[in-house]
Amino acid sequence: MSRSSLSAICLLVFAPLSAVAQTTEQRDYQILVNGKDAGRTTIVITEDKDKKVTTTKVDASVKFTILFVPNTFTTRTTETWENGRLTSLDADSTENGVRTLVSVRTQQTVLNVAVNGAARKVLNDAWTSSFWKLADKKYHNNKVPILEPDTGNDLLGDLKFVGEVNVVVAGKVTPCFKFRIDNIPTPTDLWYDASHRLVRQEYTERGQRMVMQMVSRK
């Protein structure tokens, strides 16, 4: 057997394994403000199990009115996680016409955060407020450091496990784990499915009830 033939066989044998190692999932969410449709969020999660690297892209657009005053918010964020730890983040967000660029990079054991090009914070570790995945178990019923991709601000909240509940997603009952974050400006309720990925988020800001509910998954 020639070397070229052997190489071709190897490609046929190992190509499917490489394809399986990397998976991509898209989750689409509806955003409700006081029960009214206000926008959409799409989260695309690409996971390389061999390298233990996960890349998440968040694309959100929200528009609503408070006391006849229009409010708009858009963001595009890319997060990279390695071995369950945030290693880089790039966010381009615009709220009511004001644009903010946030960049996060790992330097040895810390995270350097820059807002509109200016260094702002240096963190040891952080859970992002995209909340696309459940925080590490060490933070359950404990203090949890949180980084806001749209502002670059960091928070220290209390993450509490509330219990196991069922949530209706696209007409289907889904068993979920409910958590709550307190001692932050907007205390937030979060629901995660069996894969520890976000199904629902709910909080109140400036007297407005905000809900982000998953409506489809691909």
Place of tokens 């390389």: 48
Looking at per-residue confidence, does 98 or 2 come out higher?
98
Q: Which domain holds residue 159?
A: 22-217
**What local confidence, expressed as pLDDT, does residue 19 receive?**
52
Calculate the alpha carbon distances from 116 to 23, 39, 97, 151 in Å. 33, 26, 15, 10
For the chain, the average pLDDT equals 90
Q: Is residue 12 part of a domain?
A: no
pLDDT in tens, 148-189: 999 999 999 999 999 999 999 888 999 999 999 999 999 999
Q: Is residue 5 part of a domain?
A: no
CATH of the domain at 136: 2.40.360
- Examine the pLDDT at 16 and tell me if it is beyond 60: no
- Examine the pLDDT at 18 and tell me if it is beyond 60: no
Among candidates 50, 47, 51, 52, which has minimal Cα distance to 17? 50
Side-chain half-sphere CA neighbours of 39 within 13 A: 18
Q: Is residue 172 part of a domain?
A: yes
Q: Is residue 148 part of a domain?
A: yes
Q: Is residue 121 part of a domain?
A: yes
Among candidates 115, 69, 74, which has minimal Cα distance to 95? 74
Q: How confident is the model at residue 216 (pLDDT cuts 50, 70, 90)?
A: very high
Q: Is residue 95 part of a domain?
A: yes
Q: Is residue 7 part of a domain?
A: no
| Total number of domains constituting the chain | 1
Among candidates 145, 152, 161, 164, which has minimal Cα distance to 113? 152
Q: Which two tokens stand for residue 156?
A: 């220290």
Among candidates 124, 121, 177, which has minimal Cα distance to 149? 121
- Examine the pLDDT at 21 and tell me if it is beyond 60: yes
- Examine the pLDDT at 51 and tell me if it is beyond 60: yes
